[in-house]
């Protein structure tokens, strides 16, 4: 065959494949995925995990919506999904109180709802999937008290305290350090955001000449604090600990020596699709699915971290 005709034959075959694909790919179910924001790498990863898992099932189509960190916009997205009568909703909500009503309304109208990572108030949803933030906070507290041998001044940079992971990472941590002798000398709500963490840390640095360690409720927060300390020439005197432990973020900071530890907070994206399929196929699912978590340190990050016990 001459090369031009071989090329046209290939082109025709390719076109045919595309066309037949478009006709045969006829998803049976539509899932609406409401993401509270895509500002942090962790949420981009969650969506990527959902997309990748869903792609293995031709019967699924997922529509993604990004609320850009705005409760009202996220409420509108959930209401829109309910009006469209999607077959199932996955939501990773911004805050527990404002999102409770649209989630409850969708659930009561007969649409199954999977709540991922942050919780909503009440019980009107099908299934909650997430790691145990209280346990992670407690493990971080114990790890820190142990590292500091029960002595040191801590800055706690908290996640949004109207979201449940922020509340649990705070209360768990306080339990973990209780009775150890380390003390929290400065605390602030950085609302999960790196630029806020940097600003709060600048205030802490200005007020306190002796800061031993920063415990931030997520890795962007810990990194923001590190940048503030580095700008003040004090990063070498301070230890930084964060939560999330993504390979491309927390684990990388640990390898670089920027963070001393990062506690894993799995996105749950893969599990959400598995549970969604069970629900759509009429199987009964548990109301609450707790995901395991690891701690990554310089010593163990190359070996896959260490699972949290308890
Ligand atoms: C991203 C994030 C993560 C954190 C999670 C808690 O928005 O702040 O860093 O672990 O949300 O819901």
- Decide if pLDDT at 224 tops 50: yes
- Residue of 37, 39, 41, 43 best suited for mutating to test ligand 1, as the one with most atoms within 8 Å of CB: 43
CA–CA separation, 68 vs 290, rounded Å? 26
**Same domain, residue pair 170 and 259:** yes
**Same domain, residue pair 50 and 182:** no
* Token pair recorded at residue 65: 């919506």
Task: For residue 180, give its domain range.
Answer: 133-265+297-307
**Scanning the structure block, which residue is given the tokens 């997430």?**
130
**Same domain, residue pair 146 and 55:** no
Q: CA torsion sign, 263 to 147 to 259 to 165?
A: positive
**Same domain, residue pair 22 and 122:** yes
Other CB atoms within 10 A of residue 285 CB: 17
**Same domain, residue pair 179 and 249:** yes
CA–CA separation, 223 vs 65, rounded Å? 28
Q: Is the CB of 66 under 6 A from ligand 1?
A: no
Domains: count for the chain: 2
Looking at the CA of residue 39, tell me the nearest atom of ligand 1.
7
**Same domain, residue pair 27 and 72:** yes
pLDDT tens-digit series, residues 75-114: 999 999 999 999 999 999 999 999 999 999 999 999 999 9
Greater confidence, 20 or 190?
A: 190
**Same domain, residue pair 66 and 175:** no
**Same domain, residue pair 225 and 273:** no
The percentage of the chain sitting over the pLDDT mark of 90, rounded to a whole number, equals 91
Q: Is the CB of 186 under 6 A from ligand 1?
A: no
Greater confidence, 116 or 13?
A: 116
Q: Please say whether the beta carbons of 121 and 96 come within 8 A.
A: yes
Question: What are residue 300's phi and psi, to 5 degrees?
Answer: -110, -5
**Same domain, residue pair 201 and 157:** yes
- pLDDT score recorded for residue 13: 53
**Same domain, residue pair 119 and 226:** no
Looking at the CA of residue 166, tell me the nearest atom of ligand 1.
6
Greater confidence, 270 or 11?
A: 270
Buried b (16+ CB within 10 A) or exposed e, 156-165: bbbbbebbbb
Q: What is the CATH number of the domain that holds 203?
A: 3.40.50.2300
**Same domain, residue pair 261 and 162:** yes
- How far away, in angstroms, is 37 Cα from ligand 1 center? 10
Model-level pTM?
0.91
> DSSP letter string over 75-117?
HHHHHHHHHHT-SEEEEE-S-TTTTHHHHHHHHHTT--EEEES
**Same domain, residue pair 27 and 118:** yes
Looking at the CA of residue 118, tell me the nearest atom of ligand 1.
12
């Amino acid at each position: 065959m001459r090369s031009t005709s071989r090329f046209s034959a290939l082109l025709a075959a390719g076109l045919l494949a595309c066309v037949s694909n478009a006709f045969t790919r006829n998803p049976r179910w539509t899932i609406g995925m409401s993401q509270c924001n895509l500002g942090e790498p962790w949420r981009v990863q969650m969506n990527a995990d959902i997309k990748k898992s869903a792609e293995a099932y031709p019967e699924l189509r997922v529509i993604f919506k990004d609320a850009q960190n705005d409760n009202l916009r996220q409420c509108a997205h959930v209401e829109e999904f309910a009006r469209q009568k999607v077959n199932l909703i996955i939501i990773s909500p911004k805050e527990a109180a404002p999102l409770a009503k649209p989630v409850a309304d969708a659930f009561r109208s007969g649409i199954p709802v999977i709540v991922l990572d942050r919780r909503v108030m009440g019980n009107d949803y099908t299934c909650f999937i997430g790691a145990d933030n209280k346990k992670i906070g407690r493990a971080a507290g114990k790890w820190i008290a142990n590292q500091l041998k029960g002595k040191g001044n801590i800055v706690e940079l908290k996640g949004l305290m109207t979201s449940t992971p922020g509340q649990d990472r705070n209360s768990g941590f306080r339990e973990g350090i209780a009775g150890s002798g380390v003390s929290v000398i400065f605390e602030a709500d950085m609302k999960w955001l790196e630029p806020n963490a940097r600003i709060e840390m600048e205030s802490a640095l200005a007020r306190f000449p002796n800061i031993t360690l920063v415990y931030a409720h997520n890795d962007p927060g810990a990194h923001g604090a590190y940048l503030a300390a580095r700008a003040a020439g004090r990063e070498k005197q301070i230890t930084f600990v964060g939560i999330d432990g993504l390979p491309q973020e927390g684990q990388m900071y640990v390898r670089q020596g920027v963070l001393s530890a990062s506690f894993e907070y799995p996105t749950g994206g893969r599990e959400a699709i598995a549970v969604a399929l069970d629900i759509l196929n009429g199987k009964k699912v548990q109301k609450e699915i707790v995901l395991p978590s690891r701690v990554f340190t310089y010593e163990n990050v190359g070996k896959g971290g260490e699972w949290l016990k308890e």
